[in-house]
Amino acid sequence: MERIPPYLHRAEGELWLTEDERDNLKMTYRIKTVLFEEQSAFQHVMVLDSYDFGPMLVLDGVVQTTSKDGYIYNEMIAHVPLALHPAPRKVLIIGGGDCGVACEAVKYAEITRIDMVEIDETVVRASRLHLPEVSGRLSDPRVRYCYEDGVAFAARAKGEYDVIIVDSSDPIGPAEQLFELPFYHSLHEALRKDGLMVCQSQSPIFHSEIMLKTYRRVGSLFPHIRLYTAVVPTYPGGLWSFTLGAKQELPDPDEIRFDKQAGYANEAVLRRCFALPEFLSELLEGADREASRDGGR
């Protein structure tokens, strides 16, 4: 009898993946073939070739990135901080096992070193082999792969990095600690005095409480904070938020310059991603008022 990997089922002769993490909304993808499947020490890892999105990375049954739209997330989490920093040389990526963020970072000639700290080597191997549209089969001598816990790595680093990019999965499972205050504190310590960090801070529509918690935590440590958005088609709700914390004042978005080859990002998009929908502006204004009342920023 055919063995069907976990999270998949067969119906009407076809293979389907149903994301089951949400109670009230399920996405079901028609799958051509299973390109990779392995239970790692941390999670269940698959690369599935899907009809609508091409090969997709699936961790514990949840779609993380796809060949069709992975570039949007990766470009937006990488190029906004790299374009805002006056001279990024040393970059730390926490997570990002699909290699997509590192692929964007290597486009900057002035960057001399990229440390990519991914807890799960299986994810990197699977992505390099079966997800070339995202991983770009990355092989750049400036990238150093560190297969270890990002929390422990960040706690050891002191005043080393210009830019830190936290490309985590959702705050359940292996990535849970990457949304906690002690971790952001380590990032603050790991940055040079003009450094800045960015993290994905979930959906403003479906996880606004996680987004606001992240915004408050980053804001309690960094004097300058900004939130921006991008549209990620395969994430629930489409709209996704990123929170940026900086030690030094950030330039006006209209001063951003950008000349890299990209599929979603361009100068206008990078300048305008800070223009937030009204409901989101109001949520953040509420958080800012609270912080200043509590003697924070």
Q: Which residues are annotated as a binding site?
A: 43, 98, 118, 149-150, 167-170, 174
- CB contact at 8 A, 231 and 72: yes
How many angstroms separate the CA atoms of 197 and 190, rounded? 10
| Residue among 277, 286, 290, 294 that touches its own copies (CB under 8 A) | 277
The helix (H) or strand (E) run that includes residue 225 is strand 224-231
Q: Does 21 bind its own copies (CB under 8 A)?
A: no
The answer to whether 103 contacts its own copies (rule: CB under 8 A) is no
Report the binding-site residues for S-methyl-5'-thioadenosine: 43, 118, 149-150, 174
> Applying CB under 8 A, which of residues 269, 288, 291, 297 lies at the interface with its own copies?
269
Provide the β-strand partners of residue 66.
56
C-beta closer to its own copies: residue 179 or 240: 240
Q: Rounded to the nearest 10 degrees, what angle do helices 208-221 and 181-190 cross at?
A: 40
Query: Does the footprint of its own copies cover residue 156 (CB under 8 A)?
Result: no
Q: Is 288 an annotated catalytic residue? A: no
Alpha-carbon gap, residue 67 to 266, rounded angstroms:
20
DSSP 8-class letter at 282? H
Our finding on whether 172 is near its own copies (CB under 8 A) is no
Strand arrangement of the beta sheet that strand 62-66 belongs to: 44-50, 54-59, 62-66
| Of 76 and 154, CB closest to its own copies | 76
| Smallest gap from residue 223 Cβ to its own copies (A) | 23
Residue 23: which residues within 8 A CB-CB, separation 6 or more? none
Least distance (Å) between residue 203 CB and its own copies? 8
Q: Nearest-CA neighbor of 37 among 17, 58, 11, 15?
A: 58
Q: Which of 271, 288, 291, 297 binds its own copies (CB under 8 A)?
A: 271
Contact mark string toward its own copies, 178..207, x via CB under 8 A: ---------------------------xx-
Tokens of 177: 């600690």
Q: Which residues pair with 90 in a beta bridge?
A: 113
Amino acid, single-letter form, for residue 46: M
End-to-end C-alpha distance for the chain, whole angstroms? 62
The reply on whether position 286 binds its own copies by CB under 8 A is no
42 versus 206: smaller Cβ distance to its own copies: 206
Among 2, 12, 23, 249, binds its own copies (CB under 8 A): 23
Instruction: Tell me how far, at minimum, the Cβ of 211 lies from its own copies, in Å.
Output: 14
Catalytic residue among 20, 167, 194, 288: 167
The answer to whether 264 contacts its own copies (rule: CB under 8 A) is yes
Q: Find the binding residues for its own copies in span 40-59 (CB under 8 A).
A: 50-52
Supply φ then ψ for residue 290, to 5 degrees.
-60, -45
Residue 182 gets the label, from left (phi > 0), alpha (psi -120 to 50) or beta, of: alpha
Binding site for its own copies (CB under 8 A): 18, 22-30, 50-52, 68-69, 72, 205-206, 229, 231-233, 235-239, 262-266, 268-269, 271-272, 275-279, 281
Residues labelled catalytic: 167
